[in-house]
Amino acid sequence: MKFWDTSAIVPLCVVEPASPVVKSILSTDPSIVVWWATRSECISALTRQRREGGLSLQGERQARRLLRLLTGSWSEVRPSELLRSTAERLLAAHILRAADAFQLAAALQWCQRHTTDRELVTFDLRLREAAREEGFTILPGKIR
């Protein structure tokens, strides 16, 4: 089981350069854990791609269908006061935006802060660095 950031979920729904990598990671372990707001973040990304012309209407519909399939099988870390206070601590400790602090706080809650041998899948550079500093193994190992 791995914690997946939105930046790694979107390439499962649309064809992007990262798609083969995330599909390979998923094929080794289909158990996905995400932050509660991940679905909304994915819809935001898909809508933005459509609005900017990178995704056709049909492509967006197909991506949303794939997202619905994923949401039916993944586990979500729900919001809580503990999660919010953890995110606020992370904002002070790392160079993160609020949404990424919530992602990392959710990952920490998921593993009960026992990050040894826990994997976090993300392409966000700041989140990768902060998660590494918190003890997670980051996937994919290298990004371009």
Q: How far from the centroid of its chain's Cα atoms is residue 20's Cα?
A: 16
Q: What is the enclosing helix (H) or strand (E) of 132?
A: helix 125-133
Q: What is the enclosing helix (H) or strand (E) of 10?
A: helix 6-13
Q: Does domain 2-139 have CATH number 1.10.260.40?
A: no
Where does residue 5 rank: exposed (0-12), middle (13-18), buried (19+ CB within 10 A)?
buried
For 36-81, where are the E strands, in sequence order? 75-77
Every domain of the chain and the residues it spans: 2-139
CA separation, residue 53 to residues 17, 57, 60 (Å): 17, 9, 11
Question: pLDDT value at position 12?
Answer: 97
Question: pLDDT value at position 143?
Answer: 77
Question: pLDDT value at position 113?
Answer: 97
Q: Return the structure tokens found at 3.
A: 């914690």
Reading the chain (144 residues) residue by residue, the pLDDT tens digits are 999 999 999 999 999 999 999 999 999 999 999 999 999 999 999 999 999 999 999 999 999 999 999 999 999 999 999 999 999 999 999 999 999 999 999 999 999 999 999 999 999 999 999 999 999 999 998 876
What average pLDDT does the structure give for the chain? Answer: 96
Quick check: bond before 140 cis, omega within 30? yes
Question: pLDDT value at position 144?
Answer: 63
